[in-house]
Chains A and B, each alone.
Chain A
């Protein structure tokens, strides 16, 4: 199994450009999410999805869009890139744990390092 695959690994954008970060998982996980990682800030949730056709906002959703047309894929779109979006982006997935106090661990992709100039 490939696990969680993110592309590209690196990307440089100019302010105002748009792009899509790709994320795919082959573990049949219902739950998928996007995080951004900035120094000293830990991992902050951007958007998440509990299943195909369902998405919701996390802590820092502004400037990003997502869609979940299939169980496997969860792309993250930057509509108009800004320097504040320079960060490392991680996609993560897990089995859904609705109504349970036990939550399946997150499986992370290798990340996309994005620089916006």
Chain B
């Protein structure tokens, strides 16, 4: 079936440092969405990328969609304790009737 792989599974970050989480698909995606889930909470939509090579920013978060529309990344600068949580990418696969497939998530822990 269609798969979306997300790395790393865990990310320990010193407060103030930057980090990146990556999302890779086995097939071309129609679009990709990113969600954040705080500990004990539910996933909350962050952003959607549709165009090849698209880059979007939300304050300290930068999202990129690859040129081939098979991969995406989320880069967080100057990590804060409020960034703690699990970040999921979710891709829609053209070849699978545009079904949404979630990656396994990157769990982010911030060391103060």
What residues of chain A have their CB less than 8 Å away from a CB belonging to chain B? 35, 40-45, 58-59, 90, 92, 101-103, 105-111
Contact = CB atoms under 8 A, between A and B. Distances in A.
B33 A103 contact: yes
B6 A110 contact: no
B80 interface: no
A106 B43 contact: yes
B98 to A, nearest CB: 7
B105 A105 contact: no
A contacts with B: majority SS = loop
B43 A103 contact: no
Contacts, number: 55
Q: Which of B6, B9, B105 has most chain A Cβ within 10 Å?
A: B105
Nearest to A109: B42
Nearest to A113: B40
Given A40-B9, A58-B99, A59-B1, 14 more contacts: A35-B102, A42-B4, A42-B102, A42-B103, A43-B88, A43-B90, A45-B101, A90-B43, A92-B43, A103-B92, A103-B100, A105-B45, A108-B43, A109-B42
Nearest to A106: B45
B102 A44 contact: yes
B44 interface: yes
Contacts of B45: 105-107
Chain B CB within 10 Å, residue with most, of A41, A102, A105, A107: A105
B21 interface: no
Given A103-B48, A105-B48, A42 B6 contact: yes
B102 A43 contact: yes
B98 A103 contact: yes
